[in-house]
Amino acid sequence: MKALVLEELKRPLRLEERADPVAGPGEVVVTLQAASLNRRDYWITQGLYPRIRMPVVPGSDGAGVVSAAGEGVGDELVGREVLVHPAKNWGDDPGAQGEDFEVLGMPEDGTFATHLLTTPSQLHSRPEHLSMFEAAALPIAGLTAWRALFTQGELQEGQRVLITGSGGGVALFCVQFAIAAGAEVFVTSSSEEKIKGALDLGASAGVSYREKGWAKEFRSSHGQLDLIVDGAGGSDYSGLLELARPASRIVSYGFTAGAPESLDLFRLFWKQVRIIGSTLGTRTEMEAMLEFISNHQLHPVIDSTYALRDGNRALDCMKNHQQFGKLALDCGES
């Protein structure tokens, strides 16, 4: 098999030849056809992630075909087209993951490879209307968006929702899911082109977060919101409280722009706004998300696809926030 390996922080991944994995008892081998990137993969290469071990094959998202089944696994799985569940050991509490929770691609070897050794409980059938690349685009970003919007954000049809940094992988799934659920969707983004991309998907309006004082401007043009879903944090975070209507929710799933510089606690308690954290999701939420995208025939937005050997170019694109939607790797094209 071939794999992109992180051997040293802040250095390019290296394409390596490794022994093909062999499925042991209870295990399967998936011959990967596609993988996709998440900002997490970039953070890991920079050492900005807890408990990094090296060498490691990064990558949490993948899709392919089950090519071997070990003892105790039914042969009927072989040949099944699957996408890989991106995390394990959530635990018993749907409210939050337990201490043993892990995300594929650190510490365990992940999907930036031609093959993956895993177990049947980590697999989901590929939704029929999706290509392998679209299926590989889904797991982390789709699941994170699902839980943030619906479980934590309690989004209802007809509500007004703001998705920040809508060109990002998670954010763009939030846009697509919220529109499909009948919400009125607003976005922020870094460029007019990306805002137009969200409007083309059905968003109502968008503003550039690069404009100073955009939150005030947004409020006077578009009013307040029932739900804000944010993965950016940073200096604009406190401004989100201006946009939240009384008794509304702000769901935070990341802090790409860093920690907030301040938080207006008076505005927070006086408006009775709830700030809610969200991380990935359970297998049950993943199944609900897959059913939703099948029912609504949604297709993930893929910005561009790179051969596995060009994975470092994809990481560079992510570093510079150039993409609109997901960056995919062709694992068959190594």
Beta carbon of residue 183, minimum distance to ligand NAP (angstroms, whole number): 18
By CB under 6 A, name the one of 31, 119, 190, 224 that touches ligand NAP: 190
Long-range contacts of 317-324 (CB under 8 A, 24+ apart): 318/37, 318/39, 318/41, 318/42, 319/42, 321/167, 321/168, 321/190, 323/167, 323/169, 324/167, 324/172, 324/193, 324/194, 324/197
Verify binding: residue 138, ligand NAP, rule CB under 6 A: no
The single-letter code of the amino acid at 172 is: L
Cβ neighbours for 99, distance < 8 A, ≥ 6 positions apart:
91
Beta carbon of residue 302, minimum distance to ligand NAP (angstroms, whole number): 12
CA atoms of 35 and 179, how far apart (whole Å): 26
The single-letter code of the amino acid at 173 is: F
CA atoms of 96 and 157, how far apart (whole Å): 25
Q: Tokens representing 283?
A: 């297998």
By CB under 6 A, name the one of 151, 159, 166, 176 that touches ligand NAP: 166
Verify binding: residue 194, ligand NAP, rule CB under 6 A: yes
Judged by CB under 6 A, which stretch of 51-59, 77-85, 104-112, 248-256 contacts ligand NAP? 248-256
User: Which 7-26 residues touch ligand NAP, going by CB under 6 A?
Assistant: none
By CB under 6 A, name the one of 144, 151, 282, 305 that touches ligand NAP: 144
The single-letter code of the amino acid at 60 is: S
Closer to ligand NAP at the Cβ: 16 or 154? 154
Judged by CB under 6 A, which stretch of 67-75, 218-226, 227-235, 298-306 contacts ligand NAP? 227-235
Residues that bind ligand NAP (CB under 6 A): 38-40, 140-141, 144, 164-171, 188-190, 194, 209, 231-232, 234, 236, 253-257, 279-280, 318, 321
